[in-house]
């Protein structure tokens, strides 16, 4: 099973465009990343720039509309993620529990859907359009 651990840093929705984690947090995070690698579970990881430099594309009435960040109404925004491969949901949660997060941060653990999850007719449709 694959899980994505989404990091929701406290206050990141209002972070300055050039906001960077301080050196101490960075060092603790590097150590944690190393432990994921050494356990052989880490597939990918990335950090994301603050939303103030991003954009939202919304679809009112099904039509795309672009809004530049920051997003006044946002309460929680994603600041980065890990993708890990584990045998169970509990194992993914246990890894999330070990992350060295500062006060108030949240990690959301979500399973990544696999192709096999979908019923055969959906899979067939996906294959057909991919090969069209």
Partner 1 sequence: MDGNPPAPATSAEVHRAIDAVWRIESARLIAGLARIVGDIGIAEDLAQDALVAALERWPESGVPDNPGAWLMAAAKHRAIDVLRRRTRLDRKHEELARELEIGRETGDPDLDAALDDPVGDDLLRLMFTACHPVLALDARVALTLRLIGGLTTPEVARAFLVPESTLAQRIVRARRTLSEARVPFEVPRGEELEARVSSVLEVLYLVFNEGYSATAGDDWTRPELCHDALRLGRMLAEFMPAESEVHGLVALMEIQASRLRARVDASGNPILLLDQDRSHWDQLLIRRGIAALDRAAALGGMLGPYALQAAIAACHAQAATADETDWERMAALYDALAQLAPSPVVELNRAVAVGMAFGAEAGLEIVDSLSSAHALEGYHHLPAVRADLLSKLGRREEAAAEFARAASLTRNGRERQVLLARAAANEGPES
Determine if 99 is a binding residue for partner 1 (CB under 8 A): no
Determine if 39 is a binding residue for partner 1 (CB under 8 A): yes
Determine if 111 is a binding residue for partner 1 (CB under 8 A): no
Determine if 72 is a binding residue for partner 1 (CB under 8 A): no
Of 41, 77, 101, 107, the one binding partner 1 by CB under 8 A: 41
Residues 6+ apart with CB under 8 A from 112: 1, 2, 3, 4, 83
- CB burial string 65-83: b at 16+ within 10 A, e below: eeeebbbeeeeebebbbbe
The contact set with partner 1 (CB under 8 A) reads 35, 37-44, 83, 85-88, 90-91, 93-95, 114-116, 120, 123-124, 127, 130-131
């Amino acid at each position: 099973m694959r899980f994505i651990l989404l990091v929701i840093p406290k206050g990141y929705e209002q972070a300055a465009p050039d906001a960077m984690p301080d050196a101490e947090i960075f060092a603790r995070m590097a150590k944690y990343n190393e432990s994921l690698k050494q356990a052989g579970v880490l597939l990918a990881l990335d950090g994301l720039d603050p939303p103030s430099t991003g954009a939202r594309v919304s679809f009112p009435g099904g039509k795309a509309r672009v809004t530049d960040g920051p997003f006044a109404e946002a309460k929680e925004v994603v600041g980065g993620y890990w993708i890990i491969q584990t045998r169970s949901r509990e194992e993914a949660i246990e890894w999330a529990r070990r992350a060295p997060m500062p006060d108030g941060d949240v990690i959301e653990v979500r399973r990544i859907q696999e192709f096999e999850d979908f019923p055969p007719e959906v899979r067939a449709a996906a294959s057909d359009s991919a090969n069209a």
